[in-house]
Amino acid sequence: MLTNERIEQILQDSGALLTGHFLLTSGRHSDRYMQCAKILQSPAYATELVSHLHNAFKDDAVDIVISPAVGGIVIGYELARQLGATSLFAERENGVMTLRRGFAIPKGARVVVAEDVITTGGSVREVIDIVKNAGGVLAGVALLVDRSGGGIDFGAKTVAAYTTAVTSYEADNCPICAAGDIPLTKPGSRNTP
């Protein structure tokens, strides 16, 4: 079984845990950032971490694993591979999360939404809406890292390989901004206004 200690070692060894002043996809600010793409440079790390998610969903008759682009694609693909399911991803078109590239979710398909890291869960919720609007059955949510401390309810089975509570701030109330000595950076894959 994958332990928290082993996951923390992977985060450190891969350089995935960054410190500084970060603009998160949610628009919030934080002094820590999980750059899961650093973990995913290593197929061995991806396989090891996703095996924990596989074990949680292996008996759930999953047909499709879908992820929001870009961060969740590798996680979703690896989970689908381990589950013997189809791998899809949703992407933004004119600011709206959508299925493109001929992807479709058949009515009644059992679907897991997979994401690399969440803070507020906004992208995951958008993909859940796609699943439900297509007539799919939400079998659960699989996360590599849950930065909310496990505090987000997606209305379905939710499993994270690693859960931590990372403090984040509304931009107007950010003490890092107020101190003014660390510039704000946006390391993620999605532009935030």
pLDDT at residue 32, rounded to an integer: 87
Q: Is 116 in contact with 11 (CB distance < 8 Å)?
A: no
Q: Tell me the C-alpha distance between 5 and 8, whole Å.
A: 5
Domains located in the chain, CATH noted: 4-179 (3.40.50.2020)
pLDDT at residue 42, rounded to an integer: 92
Q: Tell me the C-alpha distance between 183 and 42, whole Å.
A: 30
Residue carrying structure tokens 């990372």? 166
Residues of the chain with pLDDT under 50: 192-193
Q: Tell me the C-alpha distance between 141 and 50, whole Å.
A: 13
pLDDT digits (tens, 9 = 90+) for 126-139: 999 999 999 999 99
pLDDT at residue 157, rounded to an integer: 97
pLDDT at residue 192, rounded to an integer: 43
